Structure 1
Amino acid sequence: MELSFSIGSIPAVLKRGHFLGGMKVVTEKEDVWLQHPLQPSTHFSLKIERNWQRTIEGHNVRIEKSRPALLAFARPHSYRVLVDGMLVAEARGF
């Protein structure tokens, strides 16, 4: 899944690999990992909602993810991206 948005005037993409579960924010200058595929917490979490907050290009970026309680691996997840407290993108997908 890929979700495009802007951090200020800089284009960014939230990328999540469905198979391995890795998730990162990609800009022209850097890649910021939110969930690395090699971390056990990426694969073994029972939380329904997860949040990540990072400072990217001088802006406060918050990623919110919620998953279904049952059969989460087979159903779409919801994603929200907030930059400096304002919603800039949201999507449902794997």
Structure 2
Amino acid sequence: MEIDFSIGNVSAKLVRGWFFGGMKLVTPSESIWLQHPLQPSTHFSFRLKRCWQRRISGHLVRIEKTRPLLAAGVRPQSYSVFVDGELVANDHGL
């Protein structure tokens, strides 16, 4: 799954691999792991909502992932992207 958005005037995208669960924030100048496939917390978590915050090009970027309670690994999850507190993109999928 990929979600394209802008951080100021910099293009960015949130990329998530459905098979291993890795998730990255990618800009033209850098690639930041939010969930690395080799970290146990990527696969085993009891939280229904997770948030990540990073400062990119002077802007605060927050990614929120909300998962369902039952069988979360095989059901669609919701993703929201905020830049400086404003919702710029959201999607629902694996």
TM range (shorter): over 0.9
> Which letter maps to 1:8?
G
Unaligned runs of 5+ in 1: none
Tell me, which stretches of 5 or more residues in structure 2 are unaligned? none
- What's the TM-score once normalised by structure 2's chain length? 0.97
* Number of aligned residues: 94
User: Structure 1 residue 47: deviation in Å?
Assistant: 0.6
Q: Which amino acid in 2 is paired with 1:25? A: L
Listed as ranges, the matches of 1:14-93 within 5 Å are 14-93=14-93
1:1-51 Cα deviation digits (max 9, x unpaired):
100000001110100011111101000000011011111111111110000
TM-score, length basis structure 1: 0.97
SS in 1 for 2:21: coil
Q: Tell me the CA shift for residue 57 of structure 1.
A: 1.6
Between the aligned partners of 1:73 and 1:53, the Cα distance in structure 2 is 23
Q: Secondary structure at the match of 1:88?
A: strand
CA–CA distance in structure 2, aligned partners of residues 52 and 89 of structure 1: 15
- 1:70 is paired with a residue of what secondary structure? coil
Structure 1 runs of 4+ with >4 Å offset: none
- CA RMSD in angstroms comes to 0.6
